[in-house]
């Protein structure tokens, strides 16, 4: 299977499962988020000059990183890893590459703790929306999702304060993240606090 073909096949597989199986109240962790992370992983991976095989692995990790949401909310990363492992194994994808992909998926658990450049790329892509001018929309989608899934209810002031704290404590890992995304994140924080 060609490099681009397996990523496309994985994207179709995960999209179909998300559409068919994911609870509809996942207004943040949905297909749009997966596509955003996939695009971000490609952009960041190319900016970090990843080799083609490395780029393929981060794209596969991006596609699978939140698929576990079809089964559970808390701890979804472990389910995502299991689902990725099952699908990639069925495609006869090399075990050592699967292990690296699973490491990338696991690294996205908050607080993020990447151990290598591939994991850094996927972590930065997972939180790329923090640098978007439309971040307040994402912030409110997450708020709605947490209320429905976790029963967490915040006043407007509490929610904005929690988000500003997260933005201040968060740092991107890659050079692209630090040089390109971080300044945009700071601007978003200043505008919408």
Which range of residues forms the domain containing residue 169?
3-192
Q: Across residues 26-44, what is the average pLDDT? A: 97
Q: pLDDT > 90: what percent of the chain?
A: 87
pLDDT of residue 45: 98
Average pLDDT (35-61) is: 98
Lowest mean pLDDT, pick from 86-95, 162-171, 183-192? 183-192
Alpha helices per DSSP H over 48-155: 52-64, 76-90, 95-107, 117-126, 135-150
Is the dihedral angle over the CA atoms 130, 166, 11, 92 positive or is it negative?
positive
The predicted-structure confidence for 149-174, as pLDDT tens digits, reads as follows: 999 999 999 998 999 899 999 999 99
**Residue 97: is its pLDDT beyond 60?**
yes
Residue 3 has pLDDT above 60, yes or no: no
Q: What is the CATH number of the domain that holds 82?
A: 1.10.1300.10
Q: Are 34 and 62 in contact (CB under 8 A)?
A: yes
Q: Tens of pLDDT along 102-135?
A: 999 999 999 999 999 999 999 999 999 999 989 9
Measured in degrees and rounded to the nearest 5, phi and psi for residue 103 equal -65, -40
Distance CA 151, CA 124 (A): 27
Which of these, 139, 123, 141, lies nearest to 191 by C-alpha position?
A: 139
Of 56, 75, 53, 54, residue with least CA distance to 66: 75
Domains in the chain, number? 1
Angle at 176 between CA 163 and CA 193, to 5 degrees: 20
Q: What is the pLDDT of residue 188?
A: 61
Q: How confident is the model over 67-76, as a mean pLDDT?
A: 95
Spatial separation of the C-alpha atoms in residues 173 and 132, rounded to whole Å: 17
Residue 63 to residue 93: CA distance in whole angstroms: 15
Of 27, 40, 55, the C-alpha closest to 146 is 27
Q: What is the pTM of this model?
A: 0.94
Q: What is residue 184's predicted lDDT score, i.e. its pLDDT?
A: 85
Return the SS3 of 30: coil
Half-sphere exposure of 141 (CA within 13 A, CB side): 16
| 27 pLDDT higher than 60 | yes
CA dist., res. 31 & res. 12, Å (int): 11
Taking 90 as the threshold, does the pLDDT of residue 185 lie above it? no
Give the C-alpha separation, 77 to 64, whole Å: 9
State the Cα–Cα distance between residues 131 and 188, nearest whole angstrom: 7
């Amino acid at each position: 299977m060609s490099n681009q073909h397996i990523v496309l096949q994985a994207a179709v597989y995960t999209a179909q499962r998300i559409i068919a199986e994911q609870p509809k109240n996942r207004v943040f962790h949905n297909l749009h988020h997966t596509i955003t992370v996939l695009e971000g992983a490609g952009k960041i991976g190319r900016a970090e000059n990843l080799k083609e095989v490395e780029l393929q692995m981060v794209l596969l990790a991006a596609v699978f990183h939140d698929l576990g949401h079809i089964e559970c909310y808390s701890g979804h990363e472990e389910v995502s890893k299991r689902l990725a492992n099952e699908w990639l194994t069925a495609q006869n994808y090399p075990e050592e590459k699967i292990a690296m992909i699973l490491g990338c998926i696991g690294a996205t658990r908050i607080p993020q703790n990447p151990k290598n450049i591939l994991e850094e790329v996927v972590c930065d892509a997972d939180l790329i929306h923090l640098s978007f001018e439309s971040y307040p929309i994402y912030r409110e989608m997450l708020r709605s999702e947490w209320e429905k899934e976790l029963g967490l209810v915040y006043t407007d002031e509490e929610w904005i304060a929690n988000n500003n704290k997260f933005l201040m404590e968060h740092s991107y890992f890659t050079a692209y993240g630090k040089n390109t995304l971080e300044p945009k994140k700071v601007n978003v924080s200043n505008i919408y606090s």
